């Protein structure tokens, strides 16, 4: 079982150094998570087997098998209603938060059965963080507190808290823009900055996997490119799954791409193949816009 105690220990052990490169060092000092089945010091894969997801009686995911490889970006594309957002929400058990919704099948992070009996859902969501479509900083909180919010829940000591917040802001390239106004409201930032703030909040608690559900759909092109560059940097340390409606974004940021249709996985292949010579006719028709 995943316990919150594990998280607290990890947070208190964090390095006081700053910057993205130091963050990796800090990660090396993270506590032993092997006891709960998450291997330490290596990439972390998500394996999905026979996943079905329901909204009441409606089957939104119809038995999907897929492996999200460690330290790679996997993009999920497909028309609206194909089940791509539902799939990522099943990975960190957010799907079950919707009244009447439930999932079947198995999701494992390394050897940790995410849906295993007695597994602590909060800890699952710390290990598998999520960034949403619309930037959602806590409206009453300062920039600092927005990043610190997750850490405070885990009981991180104040001196480590400050260093971790600074380091997370540096990692998302926001430090230079906000270092002189950390106590100002997070809502005062631009949309792109808010989204990077939310990513900083996600990585502050040292997840192993980051799920992104259309993270740039509310951003302008420049902010979008900044987030895309950030994704490219973050994959060095995290396994990333991104749902996107923007096929060019999928092409730019991902190593492999998944095409979903009507709750089924149609094709999963290296991104270059999906966009140059997809094997399945349905993928071809979707990416070329022959249907939409």
Partner 1 sequence: MQETRHSFREALKQLEVQALGGLDLVITALDRALEAVSYQDVELAGMVVADDDLIDGRYLEVHQGILSLLALQTPVATDLRIVAALLHVIRCIERMGDQCVNIAKLVPLSGYESPKDKDILDAIERMGQLARSQLSQAKEAFASRNVGLAQDLVRQDTEINRLNREIFRRAVEIGDDVDTREWAMFMILVARCLERVGDNTVDIAEQVVFVVTGLFREFADASHPA
Instruction: Tell me the closest approach of the beta carbon of residue 60 to partner 1, in angstroms.
Output: 18
Answer whether 64's CB lies under 8 Å from 87's CB. yes
Number of residues that bind partner 1 (CB under 8 A): 17
Quote the least distance from Cβ 248 to partner 1, whole Å: 6
CA atoms within 13 A on the CB side of 2: 25
Nearer to partner 1, 30 or 77 (CB): 77
Strand partners, 59: 54
User: Smallest distance from the beta carbon of 278 to partner 1, in angstroms?
Assistant: 5
284 binds partner 1 (CB under 8 A): yes
Beta strands in 4-94 (DSSP E): 46-55, 58-68, 73-77
Helix (H) / strand (E) element for 254: namely none
Nearer of residues 193 and 254 to partner 1, judged by Cβ: 254
Does 139 engage in binding with partner 1 (CB under 8 A)?
Answer: no
Tokens standing for 112? 């940790």
DSSP-H helix ranges across the chain:
4-12, 20-28, 84-91, 121-127, 143-153, 158-171, 175-178, 191-204, 221-234, 247-253, 271-276, 281-287
DSSP letter assigned to residue 98 = S
Closer to partner 1 at the Cβ: 256 or 283? Answer: 283
Using CB under 8 A as the criterion, what x/- string covers residues 210-249 for binding partner 1?
A: -------------------------------------xx-
Chain centroid to CA 191: how far?
A: 18
What is each CA distance from 89 to 92, 209, 243, 271, in whole angstroms?
A: 6, 13, 11, 22
Query: Interface with partner 1 includes 258 (CB under 8 A)?
Result: no
> Considering the rule CB under 8 A, would residue 277 count as an interface residue with partner 1?
yes
Q: How far is the CB of 273 from partner 1 (least distance, A)?
A: 8
Dist CA 278 CA 280 (whole Å): 6
> Is position 272 an interface residue for partner 1 (rule: CB under 8 A)?
no
Beta bridge partners of 171: none
- Residue 251 CA, chain-centre distance (Å), reads 18
For partner 1, give the closer residue by CB, 134 or 285: 285
- Residue with Cβ nearer partner 1 (24 or 290): 290
Of 72-111, binders to partner 1 (CB under 8 A) are 79
Residue among 251, 253, 265, 266 that touches partner 1 (CB under 8 A): 251
Least separation, in Å, of the C-beta of 290 and partner 1? Answer: 6
Nearer to partner 1, 129 or 278 (CB): 278
Which residue's CB is nearer to partner 1, number 159 or number 281? 281
- Shortest Å, Cβ 242 to partner 1: 18
Q: CB neighbours (10 Å) of residue 287?
A: 19
Nearest distance from residue 247's CB to partner 1, in Å?
A: 7
Residues of this chain that bind partner 1 (CB under 8 A): 79, 247-248, 251, 274-278, 283-284, 287-292
């Amino acid at each position: 079982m995943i316990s919150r105690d594990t998280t607290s220990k990890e947070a208190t052990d964090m390095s006081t150094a700053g910057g993205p490169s130091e963050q990796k060092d800090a990660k090396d000092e993270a506590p032993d998570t092997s006891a709960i089945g998450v291997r330490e010091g290596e990439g972390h894969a998500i394996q999905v087997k026979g996943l079905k997801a329901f909204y009441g009686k409606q089957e939104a995911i119809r038995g999907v098998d897929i492996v999200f490889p460690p330290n790679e970006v996997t993009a999920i594309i497909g028309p609206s209603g194909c089940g791509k957002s539902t799939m990522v929400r099943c990975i960190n058990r957010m799907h079950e938060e919707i009244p009447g919704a439930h999932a079947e099948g198995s999701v494992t992070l390394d050897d940790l059965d995410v849906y295993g009996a007695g597994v602590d859902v909060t800890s699952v969501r710390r290990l598998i963080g999520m960034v949403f479509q619309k930037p959602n900083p806590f409206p009453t909180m300062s920039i600092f507190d927005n990043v610190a919010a997750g850490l405070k829940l885990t009981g991180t000591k104040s001196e480590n808290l400050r260093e971790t917040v600074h380091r997370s802001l540096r990692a998302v390239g926001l430090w230079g823009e906000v270092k002189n106004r950390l106590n100002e409201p997070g809502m005062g930032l631009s949309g792109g900055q808010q989204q990077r703030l939310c990513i900083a909040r996600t990585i502050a608690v040292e997840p192993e996997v980051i799920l992104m559900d259309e993270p740039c759909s509310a951003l302008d092109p420049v902010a979008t490119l900044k987030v895309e560059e950030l994704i490219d940097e973050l994959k060095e340390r995290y396994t990333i799954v991104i749902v996107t409606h923007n096929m060019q974004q999928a092409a730019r940021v991902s190593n492999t791409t998944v095409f979903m249709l009507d709750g089924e996985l149609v094709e999963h292949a290296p991104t270059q193949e999906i966009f140059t010579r997809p094997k399945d006719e349905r993928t071809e028709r979707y990416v070329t816009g022959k249907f939409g």
